[in-house]
Structure 1
Amino acid sequence: MTRHTARPLRWLGGLLAIYLCAPFIAALPQIDHADWANVDWQTMGSAVGVSVASASVAALIILVGGVPLGYALARSSSRAMGVLGFIVQLPLALPPLTSGILLLFLLGPYSALGRLFGGVLTDSFAGIVLAETFVAAPFLIIAARSAFAAVDPVFDDVAATLGHHAGSRFFRVTLPIAWPAIRAGLALAWLRAFGEFGATVMVAYHPYSLPVYTYVVFGGQGLPAMMPLLLPTLAIAVICAVLSVASRRVASQADAPQENGDELAAVAAVATAAATVAVPAQPDARLSFSLRRDLGGFDLDIEWAPTTRRLAIIGPSGSGKSLALRMIAGLERSDGSTVKLGERDLATLAPEQRQIGYMPQDYGLFPHMTVAQQLSFPRDADAASARYWVEHLGLAALTARLPRELSFGQRQRVALARALTRHSQLLLFDEPFSALDTPRRRRLQQSLRELQREIAAVTVLVTHDSDEAALLADELLVIEHGRVLQTGTIAAVFERPASLRVAELLGLHNVGVGVVRGDGQIETPLGLVIESAAAQVFATGQAVMWRVSPRAISVLADDAVNDQNSLHRGTLERMELRHGDRYAVIDLSGHRLDVGDEHALIEAGRDHYVRIDPRGVSVWPLVEPRAREAAG
């Protein structure tokens, strides 16, 4: 927001602030005209006590019932809950006197409830509490619903994979994260209950609450006699304002790392561990799965049989990668899917029972927990293992910090340590490096690769980065539109992609399709004829894929060309940089190929003859895609 844009907004906000403060300022000169001599201090004290007590009881009732109701409204999209959400907001729209009349229909001495309780629900302390609860409850319910709706569901997912059941996840994760907003709603509900007049005067004229007593004094003795009654209300308003400012100051101080009390004890406990703590050996298990899920406009149907312990699932956005990972973790419902880790059937288990480690894209660190608390959060967290990984991953100096005080790399290491503290046999990573810049991403990828060599856990990585997949996996599963395009070892898939689409998803260059001619050469659909030593073994008319090594393409000077029959004429278009290596891009009959010839790097923009070394051309059979994949 620019300074010119902010200026009118500040004026508007200032005008409203002046209006809200003006009544308090205007009341100050009237204090001298107050009738202090005729104040009934005993009755006033009783009225203040009734209002404070009734507002507190009403706030407690609202808290106990409003938090679950707000949670249900936030997590359900059913029509019935939508109607209920509308109804609970009605007291905000109704005039207070109308709310009181409605309550009389329910609680009055001639109603069914009134007769059942012998008429004690009106003109009583209970009546005041019920009236205040009715008019003040929406403030907390709306705040709770908004707070729970703002809590990222990934926190609940991560807590489930760390072994916590639904109740534990609610009280230890969801509620603490939402609590600041709920606390603000509770304060508003208490203040609304304390100042409630209209519904209260209809339901319970006696005993006097402070608003009702103020109205009685004003009606009988006038404004001067009522002025002293403003003091308790103003005092309570000042106390609430002071508490609000104090709570904000405490919250801002909490942003800075504090290493005292319980946190110092956690740091000391971690620091005493030696980095030589042995990591328990894991069984030599393998992961296999068959995943099926129908989402209407999209359906997932993929399978994988184990040959290695490290798998990468690669594909474009919307291909079903993250859905597959969540189904393996048990976080998504499946349609007849199977997931096995060795002999253990995971598909029949809830996510909290699967003994897995799950890392979402933003690591899923709980914002209200320090690093030490994050590491002790898994239900079966092993203290010795936690101490080992804290030292091993360089986290000893960070255990007292909250996630917002950590860098991206530190958060990633904390999430890793948290998953490893429970000796998980299966680690699931959902694009854990996607939010990082390239240098940092490469460093963390190397760190994770080194960690993979130390642990025996099966790791499944979801990514769209082919280099990341090649580094962190031994086997690759390429998917698109919920279907498998190709699976195999990293070397096999990268050397021989099954289709041009697979090659494109892997970021491979100098790849194309063609047909083997009678003379053993390959002719592409665009008319380019390539000679290859490997093509001699294929039958005439065989559909194949080919790949030309950039180093097999040589750019020739015009005066060095003797025989044009074995050469190709193309335009050197531009120079590109990939992973630190420079390549020229040449257009040969519509095919854009990388050229590794250093001479070509200074000749961009010109037409040249080039020679393709047949020994640098790989050829393999073209796998015809299934109809589903072709349609996609």
Structure 2
Amino acid sequence: MNSPPAQTGKTTPVEAEATGTGLDAHLVVERDAFCLDLRLAAAPGDVLALLGPNGAGKTTALRALAGLTPLTDGYLRLDDRTLEDPTQRLNTPPEARPTGVVFQDYLLFPHLSALENVAFGPRCHGTPKAEARAQAADWLQRLGLADHATTKPRRLSGGQAQRVALARALATHPRLLLLDEPLAALDARTRLDVRAELRRHLAAFEAVAVLVTHDPLDAMVLADRLVVIEHGRIVQEGTPADIARRPRTDYIARLVGLNLYQGHADGHTVRLDNGPAITTTEELAGPVFVAFPPSAVTLHRDRPDSSARNIWRGGIAGLESHGDQIRIDVSGELPLTADLTTVAVAELGLAPGATVWATVKAAQTHAYPA
């Protein structure tokens, strides 16, 4: 999108009480070969993160919530007001929805100062110029930008521009705040600072916030609940802690840094659908997932005389730096990843193609019902 959000209409925004019931939506968008079909619910004060790989439907969902992409079916209700329902031919235009949007590239008006950018929303909703500017000044003060009120966007840092965009979204007192990859355009250091600042503002936000991201750290830090989307459908949802501890797809397992397998449990033994058995400390029966972190894996060049109940033969498929360690992809009867120190990799003489034995203690695995 190459232009700022469509807020130029003169329609009065939908009014909602501060003590609303929040978001209730069934988003169905059919487009070519892709179909988005999501049910979302969030109470006022909740921060909901939509997480998923590229092409999963996250941006389509956000545009549907904003009214920028019409629903094919389903509905969108906010604080008990129906904003969109194709079966009733009801579609509230974007500028009339009590919604604020922070786009990935912020889309600030380049010819307006920070103050004028923030005042733009209230002005479009009929607020007199002097009052709108006073409200904008207050928002800039709250976000620590009072000294940059007269600054044009091109002279703002990435973090400052992000805060101006947030202030512009909040200045209309939205009942639904949408954030589209709000930290993606920032460098690593700025991202760290702005993430902490954004978390503080979201914690104080009294309506519903929906964050769209592909970054698991942003989602884990900023959101109260995660909704993981793949191919336009929800594959898992829950608190960040639940998602991180019990992933249910390979995509989620990679995000949270776990080796994940699916199989059938009989007591402490899980026979994998495509692979060997894994011994666990949990005693379960029926379909299960088994997960363990790369740090739980120990590699050996020769078959070890180890107390570990789980041992598999494999080959080194690849090595790459991962923080202060080396992440190693092991192929074989049980494909897995292992994290070793640089010293350990050197001492073992590990290189692509080398044969290794991998061990994992049962106590370091985690099994749970599928």
**Equivalent position SS for 2:217:** helix
In structure 2, which of residues 353, 358, 362 is the aligned counterpart of residue 614 of structure 1?
A: 362
**Equivalent position SS for 2:121:** coil
The one-character-per-residue Cα deviations of 1:558-588 (angstroms, maximum 9, x if unpaired) are: 697267975444456665444x452542526
Q: Distance in 2 between matches of 1:377 and 1:303?
A: 32
- 1:586–1:595 Cα contact (<8 Å) kept: no
Shift of 1:312: 0.8
Q: Distance in 1 between matches of 2:169 and 2:187?
A: 24
Shift of 1:493: 2.1
**Equivalent position SS for 2:199:** helix
In structure 2, which of residues 307, 322, 325 is the aligned counterpart of residue 582 of structure 1?
A: 325
- 1:551–1:597 Cα contact (<8 Å) kept: no
Kindly indicate whether residue 61 of structure 2 is the aligned counterpart of residue 324 of structure 1.
yes
What are the ranges of 5 or more consecutive residues in structure 1 without an aligned counterpart? 1-151, 167-280, 623-632
Identity rate, percent:
32
1:533-544 superposed matches below 5 A: 533-534=281-282, 536-538=283-285, 542-544=286-288
Shift of 1:386: 2.7
Q: Distance in 2 between matches of 1:564 and 1:459?
A: 46
In structure 2, which of residues 237, 258, 280 is the aligned counterpart of residue 532 of structure 1?
A: 280
- 2:250–2:260 Cα contact (<8 Å) kept: yes
**Where does residue 264 of structure 2 map in the other structure?**
515
**Where does residue 14 of structure 2 map in the other structure?**
none
Shift of 1:415: 0.5
In structure 2, which of residues 320, 334, 337 is the aligned counterpart of residue 593 of structure 1?
A: 337
Shift of 1:346: 2.5
Q: Distance in 2 between matches of 1:492 and 1:507?
A: 11
Kindly indicate whether residue 171 of structure 2 is the aligned counterpart of residue 421 of structure 1.
yes
- 1:291–1:334 Cα contact (<8 Å) kept: yes
The one-character-per-residue Cα deviations of 1:456-492 (angstroms, maximum 9, x if unpaired) are: 2311011111121111111111222222222222222
Shift of 1:420: 1.6
**Where does residue 412 of structure 1 map in the other structure?**
162
In structure 2, which of residues 27, 31, 34 is the aligned counterpart of residue 295 of structure 1?
A: 31
Q: Distance in 2 between matches of 1:337 and 1:153?
A: 29
Shift of 1:423: 1.9
In structure 2, which of residues 72, 77, 94 is the aligned counterpart of residue 351 of structure 1?
A: 94
1:26-175 superposed matches below 5 A: 154-155=3-4, 157-159=5-7, 164-165=9-10
Kindly indicate whether residue 362 of structure 2 is the aligned counterpart of residue 362 of structure 1.
no
Q: Distance in 2 between matches of 1:564 and 1:315?
A: 35
**Where does residue 153 of structure 2 map in the other structure?**
403
Q: Distance in 2 between matches of 1:502 and 1:575?
A: 21
More helix by share: 1
Q: Distance in 2 between matches of 1:562 and 1:311?
A: 45
- 1:424–1:457 Cα contact (<8 Å) kept: yes
TM-score with structure 2 length normalisation?
0.81
What are the ranges of 5 or more consecutive residues in structure 2 without an aligned counterpart? 12-16, 85-89
Shift of 1:502: 4.0
Amino acid at match of 2:7: A
TM-score with structure 1 length normalisation?
0.50
**Where does residue 183 of structure 2 map in the other structure?**
433
Amino acid at match of 1:391: Q
**Equivalent position SS for 1:316:** coil
- 2:309–2:361 Cα contact (<8 Å) kept: no
Shift of 1:557: 8.5
Q: Cα gap change, 1:286/1:596 in structure 2, threshold over 3 Å: closer, same or farther?
A: farther
- 1:570–1:586 Cα contact (<8 Å) kept: no
- Name the Cα RMSD after superposition: 3.0
**Equivalent position SS for 2:68:** coil
- 1:409–1:444 Cα contact (<8 Å) kept: yes
More strand by share: 2
- 2:298–2:338 Cα contact (<8 Å) kept: no
- 1:572–1:584 Cα contact (<8 Å) kept: no
Q: Distance in 2 between matches of 1:522 and 1:553?
A: 18
Shift of 1:366: 1.2
- 2:6–2:94 Cα contact (<8 Å) kept: no
**Where does residue 474 of structure 1 map in the other structure?**
224
Shift of 1:337: 2.9
Q: Distance in 2 between matches of 1:557 and 1:480?
A: 38
**Where does residue 22 of structure 1 map in the other structure?**
none
Q: Distance in 2 between matches of 1:573 and 1:483?
A: 32
- 1:584–1:601 Cα contact (<8 Å) kept: no
Q: Cα gap change, 1:564/1:449 in structure 2, threshold over 3 Å: closer, same or farther?
A: closer
In structure 1, which of residues 431, 443, 463 is the aligned counterpart of residue 213 of structure 2?
A: 463
Q: Cα gap change, 1:563/1:402 in structure 2, threshold over 3 Å: closer, same or farther?
A: closer
Shift of 1:513: 1.9
Shift of 1:424: 1.7
Shift of 1:322: 1.2
Does 1 or 2 have the higher relative contact order (CA < 8 Å, sep 6+)? 2
**Equivalent position SS for 1:378:** helix
Q: Distance in 2 between matches of 1:552 and 1:493?
A: 19
In structure 2, which of residues 38, 54, 77 is the aligned counterpart of residue 340 of structure 1?
A: 77
The one-character-per-residue Cα deviations of 1:337-378 (angstroms, maximum 9, x if unpaired) are: 322223232324222221211111111211221112112111
User: How many pairs align?
Assistant: 346
Q: Distance in 2 between matches of 1:549 and 1:373?
A: 50
Q: Cα gap change, 1:596/1:289 in structure 2, threshold over 3 Å: closer, same or farther?
A: farther
Q: Distance in 1 between matches of 2:156 and 2:97?
A: 29
Q: Distance in 2 between matches of 1:581 and 1:532?
A: 29
Q: Cα gap change, 1:544/1:581 in structure 2, threshold over 3 Å: closer, same or farther?
A: farther
**Equivalent position SS for 2:275:** coil
Shift of 1:449: 0.7
The one-character-per-residue Cα deviations of 1:59-115 (angstroms, maximum 9, x if unpaired) are: xxxxxxxxxxxxxxxxxxxxxxxxxxxxxxxxxxxxxxxxxxxxxxxxxxxxxxxxx
